[in-house]
A = this chain, B = another copy of it.
Amino acid sequence: MTENPFEDGCAWIDGGYVPMAEARIPILDSGFTRSDLTHDVVSVWNGRFFRLEAHLDRFEKNFNRLRMTHRLSQQERREVLFECVRRSGIKNAYVQMIMTRGVPPKGVRDPRQFENRFYAFAIPYVWILNMEDQKIGTHIVICRDTVRIPTQAVDPTVKNFHWGDLVRGMFEAYDRGGALAVLTDSDGNITEGPGFNLFAYHKGVLRTPAAGVLEGITRMTVLELAEEMKIPTSCEMFGMDVLNEADEIFLSSTAGGVLPVTTKDGSPVKEGKPGKVTMQLRKRYWEAHDEDRWSTPVDYPGREQGA
Contacts and interface: CB of A to CB of B under 8 A. Distances in A.
A36 B150 contact: no
Task: Please tell me how many copies of the chain the complex holds.
Answer: 2
A150 B112 contact: no
Interface stretch (A163-171, A222-230, A244-252, A257-265): A163-171
A126 B109 contact: yes
A111 B126 CA distance: 15
A228 to B, nearest CB: 31
Contacts of A176: none
Most buried by B among A35, A147, A152: A35
Contact of A152 (B23, B34, B146, B161): B146
A35 B128 contact: no
Given A13-B27, A119-B27, A186-B152, A35 B146 contact: no
Nearest to A163: B34
Please provide the 9 A-B residue pairs with the shortest distance between their CB atoms, ordered closest to farther. Answer: A24-B24, A34-B163, A154-B164, A35-B35, A153-B165, A149-B153, A23-B27, A147-B152, A35-B161
29 contacts: A8-B106, A11-B27, A23-B26, A24-B24, A24-B27, A25-B27, A27-B121, A28-B123, A31-B32, A32-B32, A33-B161, A34-B163, A35-B162, A35-B164, A101-B167, A107-B124, A107-B126, A110-B170, A146-B153, A147-B152, A149-B153, A149-B162, A153-B153, A153-B164, A153-B165, A154-B162, A154-B165, A160-B164, A162-B162
